[in-house]
Amino acid sequence: MRLSIKIVYFAALVAVVLACTVPVVAADRYLIADQFNNRVIEVDHRGNVVWHFGLGPSDFSAASIIGVNDAQRVGEFTLMAGTGTPGGQPEAPNCTNSSGCPDNRVILVDRAGNIVWQYGQFGVTGSGPNQLNTPVQNTWLPNRHVLITDQANERIIEVDVATNGIVWQYGTTGVSGNGPNQLNNPNCAELLENGHILICDENNNRALEVTPTIPLGGDIVWQYGSGDPTINDPVSGVAFASRLKNGHTLITDANHNRIVEIDRDKNVVWEYFTCHGAGCNLPRGTGPAPTRAVRLRHGHTLISDQYNHRVIEVNHAKHIVHTWGKLGALGYNAENVADGGLNSPYDAKAVGDYTGLTAPF
């Protein structure tokens, strides 16, 4: 696919984005953030790559999405977070800069690969206007704002697409902590149906639900995990959380190598350990594994098993019913990832399936 990178002018940008009013459902399609291959791919059930953005593991230009952590389909567009690649990352030997290869953008691209909206500047690390520091997740909101988990700035920000202004923030910029309006390495944020925000506070080992107070902060109304990283909590390294229709919360308990579902009373009702035997790359201090689990509309769970270099679909009986990538074998394949060809996939979603997630429309 010929990749064209073009930032459209503001008036055209607003027209394009506002035209995005109807969700597009592609049967049997999956969107994968293939982290250290610097790309987002759309694959079918057989692993065939039917769409991609990014030029592969050796490209660290703005034509790729560097160290991508998150991707979401928004109508005909795809929203993605360019987290950047840390220096010395074993899975990314082509990043030869000892201080890392940054991206620091959240971008919305069309099917032709044109960037139609962007927040953050490529390769620029900061906390000022239109600046990010290690954005790890993005959520398109129905009001055409975007929630951005700006991890190294220790904050969640809500950005108005029309103005690129920050209209709400949780977390104190540059301050790591567990006090009021403080986070410690946040990893996700989702808008709930009740208007609250569900946040993954990764290094505080908690998921928390806050009632947003405009323009800054909010009250914590629910929490799982103490928020004290010195305590042996039931979860460690909360990489993702989503609220299901039945009120349960699905949590990626990364440092325990587990996906856990808890009910309203915080009882564990289902759990799945992503890897048990030979060939498993367990969490090793350089990052969480697994990184993302989402519930699908038919009840299965789609899991991004990052450092095992695979995406797996698991049924309620805890059997793997489908795999993309290959256990313990990183690689790059531009055509098919049914049996390998992924490198630390951080996120996977079924296209058009927003079960437990913030629907963009």
pLDDT digits (tens, 9 = 90+) for 168-213: 999 999 999 999 999 999 999 999 999 999 999 999 999 999 999 9
Tokens standing for 248? 């349960």
Structure tokens at 176: 């790591």
Confidence band of 230 (pLDDT split at 50, 70, 90): confident
Q: How far apart are CA 152 and CA 191, in angstroms?
A: 21
**How many Å apart are CA 198 and CA 191, to the nearest integer?**
6
ω before 290 within 30° of 0 (cis)? yes
Q: How many angstroms separate the Cα of 250 from the Cα of each of 224, 272, 291, 303?
A: 11, 11, 12, 11
For 199, the 3-state DSSP assignment is strand
Band of pLDDT at residue 14, cut at 50, 70 and 90: very low
Task: Please report which confidence band the pLDDT of residue 3 belongs to, taking 50, 70 and 90 as the band edges.
Answer: very low
Burial of 206 (0-12, 13-18, 19+ CB in 10 A): buried
Distance between CA 218 and CA 5 in Å, rounded? 38
Position 345 pLDDT exceeds 80: yes
The total of other beta-carbon atoms located within 10 Å of residue 246's CB is 10
Check pLDDT > 80 for residue 17: no
Is 274 strand, coil or helix?
A: coil
State the Cα–Cα distance between residues 248 and 170, nearest whole angstrom.
Answer: 23
* pLDDT for residue 233 is more than 50: yes
Spatial separation of the C-alpha atoms in residues 361 and 353, rounded to whole Å: 12
* pLDDT at residue 285, rounded to an integer: 52
β-bridge partners, 212? 218
Question: Model confidence at 227, in pLDDT bands (50, 70, 90)?
Answer: confident
Please provide the average confidence, as pLDDT, over all residues in the chain: 92
Q: Mean pLDDT across the stretch 218-233?
A: 90
**Which residues lie below 8 Å from residue 339, measured CB to CB, with a gap of 6+?**
47, 326
Portion of the chain with pLDDT greater than 90, in percent:
86
The band of 287, judged by pLDDT with boundaries at 50, 70 and 90, is low
Banded pLDDT at 231 (limits 50, 70, 90): confident
CA 251 → CA 198, 272, 280, 330, distances in Å? 11, 11, 21, 25
Alpha helices in the chain (DSSP H): 10-18
Tokens of 3: 């990749």
Task: Taking residues 46-53, report their average pLDDT.
Answer: 98
**Which pLDDT score, from 0 to 100, does residue 284 have?**
57
Give residue-wise pLDDT tens across range 97-124. 999 999 999 999 999 999 999 999 999 9
Radius of gyration of the chain (CA): 18
Alpha-carbon dihedral angle through residues 267, 269, 273, 274, given to the nearest 10 degrees: -120
Which residue in 304, 220, 184 sits closest to 254, CA to CA? 304
